[in-house]
Amino acid sequence: MPLCPQHTSQQVKEAHSRLGRSLVKIQKARHDSTVESENLKSMFQTWEQKWMHRRELIASRIQTIEAQLKELGESDLPLPQFTIFDDPGE
């Protein structure tokens, strides 16, 4: 009596092909996950660079406004009154 069961070559091929398909699926899922992770990193870096630039623009505008207000405060002109309007659509 043999220690290992006897398999036909067809059964062995089917087992190998199922294993191969499973390995291909795992490899593809891993690759897709890596690509998605890299895409998310690049998207975050792009967003970060965009907002870093906008942050600098906002800071520059605030400095300009503060300088203009300081000049107005030193002059004899009355200080402007500011009103904030809210857009109900936003």
State CA 78 to chain mean position distance: 48
pTM over 0.95: no
pLDDT in tens, 25-75: 888 898 888 888 899 899 999 999 889 988 999 999 999 999 988 887 777
Buried residues in 42-74 as b, exposed as e (16+ CB within 10 A): eeeeeeeeeeeeeeeeeeeeeeeeeeeeeeeee
Per-residue model confidence (pLDDT) at position 13: 62
User: What residue type is assigned to position 60 of the chain?
Assistant: S
pLDDT of residue 1: 45
Instruction: Judge contact between 47 and 39, C-beta under 8 A.
Output: no
Residue 19's pLDDT is 81
2: burial class by Cβ within 10 Å (0-12, 13-18, 19+)?
exposed
